[in-house]
Amino acid sequence: MKARLAASAALALGLALGASGCSMLTYQATTEHYDASDGVSLDVGDLQLRNVLVVSEDGEDGNLIMTVVNNGDDDVELGVQFGEGGGDVQTIDIEAGSTVAFGVDAAESEEQLEPLLLEGIDTQPGALLTMYFQYGDAEGIDKQVPVLDARLPEYADLAP
C-alpha cells in the first residue's frame, strides 16, 4: 500500500514538473520589446519615438511619419537629420507631457500634424535610411528607418 502511494506521489510530482518545467527553463519571447508595426522605435532622453518610418514614391523625397511622446517636464526641440553625412537639421517643438503624431491618425487626446517632408533622401522604397535624432543635452541616436512606398492603403495619402 505504501509502495502504491509513493508511486502515485512520484507520478504526480513528475507530471507537475513536466507540465510546468517548460516555462521555468524555456526562453520567453513575450518579455522582449518588439515593434509591432512597419516602423521602428527609439528613446532619446525623455522622448519616446514610436513607429518611425518614411513614405516615398520615387526615393528622392519622403515624408517622415512618427509619434513622439514627451514624458519629461520640459518642452524640447527635437533635431532630425538623415543620411550618412548628416545634412540639414529639421527641428520639431515637442511640449512637455504631450504626445504628437506626425502624419498618422491621432487619438482625440493627441495633437496631429502633417508628415515632415524630407527632401533629397536618395533612398529607394524597401531600403533603410540612416537618421539621427537628438535634443538638448540628451545623447543622440542613429537609427536605420524603413522607407516604404504608398502601395499599402494606410500609406496611400502619405507619399509626398
State how far the alpha carbon of 110 is from the alpha carbons of 24, 41, 66, 130, in Å. 41, 18, 13, 27
Contacts of 104 (CB under 8 A, 6+ apart): 51, 65, 67, 112
**pLDDT computed for residue 65 by the predictor:** 92
The SS3 call for residue 135 is coil
What DSSP letter does each residue of 24-61 carry, written as one string?
HHS--GGGS----SSSEEEEETTEEEEEEEEE-SSSSE
Whole-number pLDDT of residue 150 = 87
Q: What is the pLDDT of residue 25?
A: 66
Predicted confidence at residue 124, as pLDDT, reads: 92
pLDDT at 128: 95
- The burial class, CB within 10 Å (0-12 / 13-18 / 19+), for 88 is exposed
pLDDT of residue 146: 96
**Who has greater pLDDT, 57 or 33?**
57
pLDDT digits (tens, 9 = 90+) for 91-146: 999 999 999 988 876 665 466 777 889 999 999 999 999 999 999 888 889 999 99
Could you tell me which residue, 16 or 101, shows the higher pLDDT?
A: 101
Coil, strand or helix at 145: strand
Q: CA 26, CA 21: separation in Å to the nearest integer?
A: 8
- Can you tell me the mean pLDDT for 43-61? 93
**pLDDT, position 66:** 92
